[in-house]
Structure 1
Amino acid sequence: MIDIQNLSKIYKTKSGTVTGVDNVSLTVYEGEIFGIVGYSGAGKSSLLRCINLLERPTLGTIRVDGVDLTSLKSEELRAARLKIGMIFQHFYLISQKTVYENIAFALKAANLPKNQVQKRVEDLLEMVGLSDKKDVYPSQLSGGQKQRVGIARALANDPKVLLCDEATSALDPTTTKSILNLLKKINKELNITIVLITHEMNVVKEICNRMAIMQEGRVIEEGSVYDVFASPKADLTKEFIESVVSFEIPDVILDGCEGPIVKVTFRGQVAGEGVISDMLQTFQVKGNFLHGSIEYIQDLPLGIFIMELKGKQEEIQAALTYVEKRAAQVEVLRDGI
């Protein structure tokens, strides 16, 4: 659906050139929700704006639904953009127009016949749950309601792709969850491909199928959300994940541990099985649980446990080998004292 190859965006400033996006190649599949994560200045917003050519790439190509947008002339590009909706962090609604008029404006700009506008707007308002707000002005809406209007407006021309630029960053946690549920509904019911940029890993964990981590204009890690959470490679990825799934143990607890401390990660259905209890019964090893939880990502369980093991070294090693054979990933965080 979206194929980005060797894309770079270089900005010219008074003090020289700045590379916003540095040789990025990504593929977003049809019908999926793809998350792009990074801190401010990582290049994720620049990359997103290049996808619909709000910013023209310095180098590289962008194909959306098989069409190379970088090769299109002005009129062709305007037509192609109608199939790429976009929602923003700050809504950008027209304050002097009602909710109905804000959505209708997008349809009129696309030259939809007048006799079709009303029905289309009413259908969109029903989809986003704002049928009772059509005659209300933006100043009378909550932040979540404003974003729902923004989503309805982005869907006005029946796009195939929806680009979300920090769509939930200005919202409280409860409202964020409701907007994410709406996006999941839109993705499922309309089969719209969604690209979502954010600095919040909770958002990615909640809604995305696959993801990429950006740093200094480059993609440093990508994959399914489940795989990235289960086996992060880059230090920045680990930092982001720890903001959602924290396993920091106070030094006063660690100082009291004499045996090796291990982190055991269980993937898939095995996370719900009694692997550790089986291990403790099978081998002459005692376990002191320091931390643990089971997270659910795309409805798949991911179990992470940190524990101190006590016993003879050969028994501990045999126990860890046993756990690894049961589809677990074992990492020794600290050898015994």
Structure 2
Amino acid sequence: MIKINNVTKKYKTKKGEVIGVDDVSLTIEKGEIFGIVGYSGAGKSSLLRCMNLLEMPTSGSIIINGTDLTKLSAKELRKARQKIGMIFQHFYLVSSKTIIENIIFALKAADFPKAERVKRAEELLQMVGLADKRDVYPAQLSGGQKQRVGIARALANNPDVLLCDEATSALDPSTTKSILALLKDINQKLGLTIVLITHEMEVVKEICDRMAVMQDGKIVEEGSVYDIFAAPEAELTKQFIGDILQLDIPEKLIRECQGTIVKLQFKGSKAGETVVSDMLQLHQVKGNFLHGKIEYIQEEPLGIFVLEIIGEKNEVAKAITYLQDRTGNAEVVTDGY
């Protein structure tokens, strides 16, 4: 478990003091994948670097598996860091060393027993799907393959925690999916706690269990990924989610609609029910789908649809009430009366 208690990180600049992390508290459970989302400058990378004390917090505490890292001596901190792996946006591989030599170098730095280094490096290459690249050099690898080496290197010393700082932002969408699938597989097989920093909501949706949204050094929203996607509260979170769901209706289309436009949200099993079809049979109205999408978050469906309802005012009101009762989330976008 990771407990971040009232952590603040201040930086001194020529223009004065800047607050990078502003009184942040979080609890990240053992074995979960936790995402921290925010735009550039939000403070998320500073917070991540505070987690293994690459950045010393100005105030507050970082407790990992019951140990407060901020109270350790330099020697104790070096030992504690051996159980905290880290993956970066840039791969930082040694170009003059082969792939297996890069991993052995990391094992050596972690004081891994010399006689076991080659065997351990080969196990890690097998784990990340690069056993056949054992003796090639970094320049011969794609970006995704280089990041797999970075992951293998971060796992070298059997860490309990894996910190990922924008680990997929330099990769194309297809490669990003494969890296996220690898991280999820590692999480499930090894029981690792993974903290993932990103500015891409799609990344969080893909593999995270819970998440926090950062803005100006503060946490503005926190919760399960599904709940936040289903009912975002902070304006920044709504903006992030809107970029993925993309359910904006062109103004021209709205002007041309003659009926009442309703936005529906279907959670979980509701997404598979015939709610709209039942409504059309029960009430004297016509329906016209304008937009719709079903996202799967942690394999649970979340459906959002925009529907135009046409008919007598009284019947339309009854139909909307029915939709609200069935879905629990029916919002009138424009009233046709």
TM range (shorter): over 0.9
Deviations 1:190-230 (A, max 9, x none): 01010001111111111111111111111111111111111
Please tell me whether the aligned partners of residues 260 and 334 of structure 1 are also in contact (alpha carbons under 8 angstroms).
yes
Larger mean Cα displacement after TM superposition, 327-336 or 67-76:
327-336
Alignment gaps of 5+ in structure 1: none
Matches within 5 A, 1:176-215: 176-215=176-215
- Distance across 2 between alignment mates of 1:111 and 1:234: 45
Residue 237 of structure 1: how far off its partner (Å) = 0.8
Query: Match of 1:286, SS?
Result: strand
Please tell me whether the aligned partners of residues 264 and 327 of structure 2 are also in contact (alpha carbons under 8 angstroms).
no
- Distance across 1 between alignment mates of 2:161 and 2:230: 28
Q: Could you tell me which amino acid in structure 2 is paired with residue 58 of structure 1?
A: T
- Distance across 1 between alignment mates of 2:251 and 2:119: 63
- Distance across 1 between alignment mates of 2:54 and 2:62: 12
Answering whether residue 66 of structure 2 is matched by residue 75 of structure 1, we say no
- Distance across 2 between alignment mates of 1:52 and 1:333: 47
Q: In structure 2, what is the equivalent of residue 3 of structure 1?
A: 3
Q: Could you tell me which amino acid in structure 1 is paired with residue 268 of structure 2?
A: G
Residue 313 of structure 1: how far off its partner (Å) = 3.1
Residue 105 of structure 1: how far off its partner (Å) = 1.1
Q: How many residues align?
A: 337
Q: In structure 1, what is the equivalent of residue 268 of structure 2?
A: 268
Answering whether residue 298 of structure 2 is matched by residue 304 of structure 1, we say no
Q: In structure 1, what is the equivalent of residue 169 of structure 2?
A: 169
Alignment gaps of 5+ in structure 2: none
Q: In structure 2, what is the equivalent of residue 279 of structure 1?
A: 279
Q: Could you tell me which amino acid in structure 1 is paired with residue 305 of structure 2?
A: F
Residue 106 of structure 1: how far off its partner (Å) = 1.4
Q: In structure 1, what is the equivalent of residue 131 of structure 2?
A: 131
Residue 2 of structure 1: how far off its partner (Å) = 0.7
Identity value in percent = 67
Q: In structure 2, what is the equivalent of residue 101 of structure 1?
A: 101
TM-score for both structures, normalised by structure 2: 0.97
Residue 66 of structure 1: how far off its partner (Å) = 1.2
Q: In structure 1, what is the equivalent of residue 219 of structure 2?
A: 219
Residue 262 of structure 1: how far off its partner (Å) = 1.4
Q: In structure 2, what is the equivalent of residue 153 of structure 1?
A: 153
Superposition RMSD in Å: 1.1
- Distance across 2 between alignment mates of 1:68 and 1:260: 57
Answering whether residue 243 of structure 2 is matched by residue 243 of structure 1, we say yes
- Distance across 1 between alignment mates of 2:217 and 2:245: 26
Query: Match of 2:63, SS?
Result: strand
Answering whether residue 333 of structure 2 is matched by residue 333 of structure 1, we say yes
- Distance across 1 between alignment mates of 2:30 and 2:310: 50
- Distance across 1 between alignment mates of 2:198 and 2:264: 29
Q: Could you tell me which amino acid in structure 2 is paired with residue 238 of structure 1?
A: K
Q: Could you tell me which amino acid in structure 2 is paired with residue 281 of structure 1?
A: Q
Residue 321 of structure 1: how far off its partner (Å) = 2.3
- Distance across 2 between alignment mates of 1:216 and 1:272: 40
Query: Match of 1:102, SS?
Result: helix
- Distance across 1 between alignment mates of 2:336 and 2:20: 46
Please tell me whether the aligned partners of residues 267 and 328 of structure 1 are also in contact (alpha carbons under 8 angstroms).
no
Larger mean Cα displacement after TM superposition, 20-29 or 145-154:
20-29
- Distance across 1 between alignment mates of 2:327 and 2:242: 23
Residue 328 of structure 1: how far off its partner (Å) = 3.2
- Distance across 2 between alignment mates of 1:234 and 1:306: 22
Q: In structure 1, what is the equivalent of residue 112 of structure 2?
A: 112
Please tell me whether the aligned partners of residues 3 and 62 of structure 1 are also in contact (alpha carbons under 8 angstroms).
yes
- Distance across 1 between alignment mates of 2:67 and 2:329: 42
Query: Match of 2:256, SS?
Result: coil
- Distance across 1 between alignment mates of 2:251 and 2:110: 61
Residue 314 of structure 1: how far off its partner (Å) = 3.2
